[in-house]
Structure 1
Amino acid sequence: MKYNFYRLFINSFVFLFAGSSLIFAQDLDTEKKEKGVIEYQLRAGINIGGFTPIPIPAEIRELSSFNPMLNISLEGSIIYLFKQTPSSWGIRTGVKLENKGMKANSMVKNYRMEIIGGEGERVAGNWTGGVSTHIANSYITIPTLAIFKVNDCWSFSGGAFWSFLMDKNFSGYVFDGYLREGDPTGVKVIFEDDKTASYDFSNDLRKFSYGLQLGTTWQFSKHLNVFGDFSFGLNNMFKSDFKTITFTMRPVYLNLGAGYSF
């Protein structure tokens, strides 16, 4: 009887100790998963898109050619996930060096324009004919995004971006048309055959821009991922006192690329 009692006591003690250890380990594991985690990423991508008025104004009658150019982006970002579970919310920010540019030819009518004459003089008026535009800008961009991690593979992001203009170019030329100096009833200056006149609005570009960004990321291995981010500018690329182009032009770009997670 005494032996059986001691064996029952020892077995009960071992059972309680093992059960308590298991519960304690589960509590530690739950507590660990409830804590946040920080991730670091390096990203490289290509910006595909352009600067455009929305909606397209009546002055622009036809887009005859478009070249998105090779616009590279490099980004270092930091992600804070609120939990270490496969599904979690978080935030992401970082610093991105990126190019946004394009080349486009269009046919326009009564398009406000300021051309540079042969003597360097500037002549403003309403242009009807062809316009060739070349934009090549470089920015430092800071995204501020909310993250939703669906599982170990997929995550989605949304928020705002803030861009600071570093290098700038908005230039081009007009061709095969005529300029009405001053207003639509002004003196008619004809450009035909191979005659062109250049323009340059680079110094009229705004230094700071902002907008919205939405994206998704597919983490296909422990360290490697691919992503797509769509960004839409909310303010005009030109300064508020610039009156030559009368409509608002915004950057609209899709950034596609790959990243490395540390």
Structure 2
Amino acid sequence: MRRFLIVLMIFFRANLAFAQETTKVKFSRLEHIFFIGYNIGGLAPVSFPENIRAIDSYSPGFSPAVGYEVIFKLNKHWGIGTGLRMDGKGMSVKDSVQYFHTQVSVDDASVEGDFSGTNTTNVKNLYVSLPLYAVYLTNNHWKIKLGFYAARLIRPSFSGSVSDGYLRKGDSLGEKITITSATFNFDEKQRKTDIGIFAGGEKLVYKNFSVKADLQWGLRPVFPDSFNGISFNMYNIFATLGISYRL
């Protein structure tokens, strides 16, 4: 967090110095924005898998978002935006599963197979993201954004447990192992980079303060194809709700 804030301040000061030069002209083309927010979403499949029978509980956990954006105005209504942001992308979900393929640790040994019972997953990933988007500025102080983002995973955390069920070793026809409680940890199995669609809206509500909502929809699966711990692809799908301040 401290390293990110130092980089953010250096980035901001460099752009602020440039912005001060541009304010010498009648119409400044650069707009600088700081924002804070909260991410709500999860690592999720695009379609609901049949082996997940019910979602028993869900929480987004502590998933803050903070960053800096700069918008270059091409004309009165159009612009290009980018920036640097840090995103906590997490969730805690408990579900009932049947023949859910996974890898768990049982008596200090790794076992792979199809599990039926209760699955609990806790994710607390931290990403540094770089969005690039087109901006449409309306006459009633709205900014509409659409583009892409690239992100780097700087602190992976994906772990959980299975309980109150059984595991068929290998596949659904394999040896049956009763599971009272077992754990899994896929921190280092995740991809280090993520890319996806970025969209959002921002409304000026008071002087330089705005409310905003963004969506980051990952297009790249969180786990590589070679990973067998989960039988379906999962994607980062998160919405950000927050406030911003225009400098």
Under TM normalisation by the shorter chain, which class is it?
A: 0.7 to 0.9
Pair 1:98 & 2:83 matched: no
Q: How many residues align?
A: 223
Where 1:220 maps in the other structure, the secondary structure is strand
Mapped partners of 2:206, 2:113: distance in 1: 57
Give 2:37's aligned amino acid.
Answer: G
How far apart are residue 63 of structure 1 and its match? 0.6
From 31, 34, 46, give the equivalent of 2:38: 46
CA distance in 2, matches of 1:36, 1:183: 63
Distance in 2 (CA, whole Å) between partners of 1:113 and 1:223 is 49
1:187 to 2:175 alignment: yes
Partner of 1:15: none
AA at the equivalent of 1:137: N
Contact 1:36 1:82 (C-alpha < 8 Å) held by counterparts: no
Aligned match of 1:22? none
CA distance in structure 2 between the partners assigned to 1:78 and 1:61 by the alignment: 44
Q: Show the counterpart of 1:156.
A: 144
Q: Distance in 2 between matches of 1:115 and 1:231?
A: 30
Partner amino acid, structure 1, of 2:227: F
CA-atom RMSD in angstroms: 1.4
List runs of 5+ in structure 1 lacking aligned partners. 1-31
Moved over 3 A (4+): none
TM-score, scaled relative to structure 1: 0.82
State how 1:211-222 maps to structure 2 within 5 Å. 211-222=196-207
Q: 1:176 aligns with which of 164, 170, 182?
A: 164
Aligned residues with identical type, % of pairs:
30
Which structure's residues are more often helix, by fraction? Answer: 1
How far apart in 2 are the matches of 1:239 and 1:252? 17
Q: Distance in 2 between matches of 1:80 and 1:90?
A: 5
Amino acid at match of 1:223: N
Cα deviation, residue 221, structure 1: 3.0
Runs of 5+ consecutive residues of structure 2 not aligned to the other structure: 1-24
* CA apart distance, 1:245: 1.1
Aligned partners of 2:39 and 2:65 also within 8 Å: yes
Pick aligned residue for 2:185 from 200, 210, 232: 200
TM-score (norm 2): 0.87
